[in-house]
Amino acid sequence: MTVQDTPPTGTTRRGDFAELHRRVSDAGLLRRRPLYYAGRSAALFTALALLLAGFVALGASWWQLCIAPLFAFVLGQLALLGHDVAHHAVFAGRRATDLAGIVLGNLVVGMSYGWWVSDHNRHHAHPNREGHDPAADSLLFARTTEQACRTRGLRRLAARYQAELFFPLLSLQALGLLVATCLTLTRGTVRYPALERTLAALHYALAVALLAVVLAPLQALAFAVLFGAVLGVYLGCIFAPNHKGMPMTGPDAERADFLRRQVLPSRNLRAGRFVHFLFGGLGYQIEHHLFPAMPVAALRPASRIVRDYCAQIGVPYSEASPVACLREILRDLRAVGRSLPGDPAQSGPPTRPSAPEPTRPTAPEPQAAPEAGAAVR
């Protein structure tokens, strides 16, 4: 039930990726960093304990709404820690990885670990491929004209104005995670259904009890709504820049080699250390897709090697500042929304909007290579 840490041996590591893998490995960037993750875990759980103590001490006060965003940030960071655990960046063994992932996901964050791993495996295997990558088939956003045309009623109205509704729609992400968790655990389609159900139920029972005991009913409702909205926007802003606004891939991508299949539909953030801290390291999305088990602390130095290597072999390496990235995403979402039939802003037949130009010089089209990919275990 864990996320594949590296591509399978064999054809995947031949050619361009094999050389890149050698360079990154020789730099010592694939080694696990237990001290880093021990310190990060201790800091996050200490912050969570302090927030809980402050929440109880403050009592039934509307000032609690100032604490809700802090809870959302810490829970978001703990979810990112669970993401690293699932990728075997923390533990090598499957049993330890699954146990830590279920505790972090179900008990601490309140999200089904098994459901998330299944979706995330498919995302890594087929990034930005409609019908295969769950992130490319989101209920909140239409990524292609074809997806937008399949919407109906309120969903079509939202698709038409999805660029303008970008942040309000992101605020629903936490609610979507809750619904997916409930449906998954009700159906029992995970490896450890009893354990996941027990820990998820305990998470929500403790959360409801804490809100009911400390806050007045209206305060509790306001706190829960604000917390969920901020958490949704926070997680959405972390994951949206990675692939939204980048080219969608089709069946031809399956014939491409592993390196190009992962690099071409991905985008890095060009930002400082503080922004990358907020993003849990996922601003280095290209490196993460190439080396999923790489510890977060190694992604920054790895990006220098990967960037230079992509320039050497003529593979576009896309990176943009957070502001430029947001503009690309909104431009792409707006183009899809306006391509819907009947939109007054539409001119000509509906087509998939062209992808934004990469921030680095383009290169010749990559040659097809033997089948390769990030298959799950």
Give tens-digit pLDDT for 121-145.
999 999 998 888 888 888 889 888 8
For residue 79, the Cα-to-chain-centroid distance in whole angstroms is 10
pLDDT of residue 233: 96
Q: State the residue for tokens 């940030």.
A: 73
| Alpha-carbon radius of gyration of the chain | 21
For helices 113-125 and 94-102, angle between their N-to-C axes, nearest 10 degrees? 120
Q: Is residue 269 classed as helix, strand or coil in its secondary structure?
A: strand
How far, in Å, CA of 120 to CA of 105, rounded?
Answer: 14
Q: Are 24 and 30 a contacting pair, CB within 8 Å?
A: yes
Q: Are 148 and 165 a contacting pair, CB within 8 Å?
A: no
Lowest mean pLDDT segment, chosen from 237-246, 318-327, 361-370: 361-370
Q: Are 81 and 41 a contacting pair, CB within 8 Å?
A: yes
What average pLDDT score do residues 269-287 get? 94
How far, in Å, CA of 153 to CA of 346, rounded?
Answer: 19
Residue from 314, 304, 316 nearest 355 by CA: 316
> Which residues neighbour 193 within 8 Å (Cβ) at sequence distance 6 or greater?
114, 185
For the chain, give the percent of residues with pLDDT over 90: 72
The pair of structure tokens assigned to 161 is 């104005």
| 343 confidence band (pLDDT: 50, 70, 90) | low
Residue 159 is given by DSSP the state H
What average pLDDT score do residues 181-197 get? 91
How far, in Å, CA of 136 to CA of 274, rounded?
Answer: 28
Tell me the β-bridge partners of 129: 249
Average pLDDT of the chain is: 87
Higher pLDDT, 353 or 79: 79
How far, in Å, CA of 162 to CA of 170, rounded?
Answer: 10
Q: Are 40 and 89 a contacting pair, CB within 8 Å?
A: no
Tell me the β-bridge partners of 249: 129
| 254 confidence band (pLDDT: 50, 70, 90) | low
pLDDT of residue 375: 36
| 345 confidence band (pLDDT: 50, 70, 90) | low
| 363 confidence band (pLDDT: 50, 70, 90) | very low
Give tens-digit pLDDT for 143-158.
888 888 988 999 899 9
Give tens-digit pLDDT for 221-236.
999 999 999 999 999 9
How far, in Å, CA of 44 to CA of 108, rounded?
Answer: 11
Lowest mean pLDDT segment, chosen from 22-36, 271-285, 350-364: 350-364
The pair of structure tokens assigned to 7 is 């591509």
| Statement: residue 261 has pLDDT above 50 | yes
Give tens-digit pLDDT for 304-340.
999 999 999 999 999 999 999 999 999 999 999 999 8
| 373 confidence band (pLDDT: 50, 70, 90) | very low
What average pLDDT score do residues 349-363 get? 42
| 245 confidence band (pLDDT: 50, 70, 90) | confident
Higher pLDDT, 209 or 342: 209
Task: Locate all alpha helices (DSSP H) within the chain, ordered by sequence.
Answer: 16-26, 34-58, 68-86, 94-102, 113-125, 145-149, 153-160, 166-170, 173-187, 193-214, 217-243, 258-263, 273-278, 285-290, 296-313, 322-338
